[in-house]
A = this chain, B = another copy of it.
Amino acid sequence: MSRGVKLAIVGATGAVGQEMMQILEERNLPLEELICLAAPSEVGTKLSFKGETIIVQSADEKVFKAADIALFAVETDISNKLAPLAQKNNCLVIDNSNAFRLAEGVPLVVPEVNARDIKDHKGIIASPNCSTIIMVVAINPIYEKYGLKRVIVSTYQAVSGAGVAGIEELDTHIKTYQAGQKPIPKTFQHPISFNVIPHIDVFVEDDYTKEEMKMVYEARKIMHAPELRISATAVRVPVYRSHSEAITLDLESPATVAEVKELLANAPGIIVQDDITNNIYPMPLYASNTDEVYVGRIRTDISGDNSIALWVAADQIRKGAATNTIQIAEEVIAKNLF
């Protein structure tokens, strides 16, 4: 732990990159240097970190040679292009994009679930999709203790899942609506003001969206449950920040609601918010700007045998992206795996 780390952020000026810098200020990673990288158009931008100014540089071979670990907070195509360059120069990549998540030999990690997979990396570790992270933190303790036959999830996803453009579009659409005019969709497929849209990312196999299938394939890999049956409906809602999920679980072996509540209350990364007599349950409004996954409305699913229903909310920019990536970096550093 005495080894100082030279840490780079690729995409430091973006929404997730900026969030990473804020989280790094809050936590105690043994940083020797923080290197901020971004697209050529952003090079020279001054960013503030712990009272000092960091000048944004271009992501090139020389920079990766100088860095120990690079947190990638960029689009898939940029990760595809730059991650191999970092890898070649012995800079460990922890990637937030979809580029390597399902690739053979790339650990896909949510530290609360499978930190043990980190040691198998070959220069790239992937952080999962936000909706997946939130779901697996909540359901993995139940999977490990009781087994799972089936997972059904409906999501309520914030517009910031589509980045700053998503936030701006919700703002614009609401103001356009208030002015009595018709919102024009750009980032989303339809107006997002006072609407919900059952369509996130593109449609892929079996008429599911890519967002929905990410939850299936990524959860199976993270939880080491290649046969786990999962189906998702991913829906965009007019919320700025934090995703929510209604989850139904069919368990292999029986569990009471009290047992599940106790299990989750003691599980890492989870805060159980389940006091219905006081109207306490997870909500995006209160999950925002925190690092935990909130679980509530824990009850027997009365349509199933051995089934449990949950309601989950978490900040998808923090735990769903930036925080998870930094938690992976912390594990890597603590175990000297870079």
Contacts and interface: CB of A to CB of B under 8 A. Distances in A.
A320 interface: no
B239 A195 contact: yes
Contacts of A216: 302
Interface stretch (A20-28, A52-60, A276-284): A276-284
Contacts of A14: none
A246 interface: yes
Q: Which of A196, A198, A230: most chain B CB closer than 10 A?
A: A196
Interface in A256-315: 257, 276-277, 279, 281-285, 296-304, 307, 309, 311
The 8 residue pairs across chains A and B that have the minimum distance between CB atoms: A154-B154, A231-B303, A195-B285, A207-B299, A229-B303, A154-B246, A233-B246, A189-B279
Contact of A238 (B207, B238, B246, B301): B238
Interface string A234-257: 010111100010101000000001
B244 A302 contact: no
A198 B301 contact: no
A206 interface: yes
A195 B283 contact: yes
Interface string A174-213: 1000000000000001110011111100010011100000
A138 to B, nearest CB: 14
Given A207-B297, A283-B190, A302 B248 contact: no
Number of copies: 2
Nearest to A311: B198
A5 interface: no
A240 B297 contact: no
B279 A152 contact: no
A interface bracket (residues with beta carbon within 8 Å of B): 35 or more
A298 B207 CA distance: 8
Contacts of A302: 206, 208, 216, 229-231
A273 to B, nearest CB: 11
25 contacts: A152-B248, A152-B303, A154-B154, A154-B233, A156-B235, A190-B279, A191-B285, A196-B239, A196-B244, A196-B283, A197-B283, A198-B297, A206-B299, A206-B300, A207-B299, A229-B303, A229-B304, A230-B303, A231-B248, A231-B304, A233-B246, A233-B309, A235-B246, A237-B237, A237-B238
Interface in A143-194: 150-152, 154, 156, 170, 174, 189-191, 194
A280 to B, nearest CB: 10
B198 A283 contact: yes
Contacts of A156: 156, 196, 235, 237
Nearest to A237: B237
Interface string A21-63: 0000000000000000000000000000000000000000000
Nearest to A285: B195
Q: Which of A233, A235, A304: most chain B CB closer than 10 A?
A: A233
Contact of A311 (B151, B233, B257): B233
Contacts of A229: 302-304
Nearest to A244: B196
Q: Which of A150, A170, A257: most chain B CB closer than 10 A?
A: A150
Contacts of A285: 190-191, 194-195
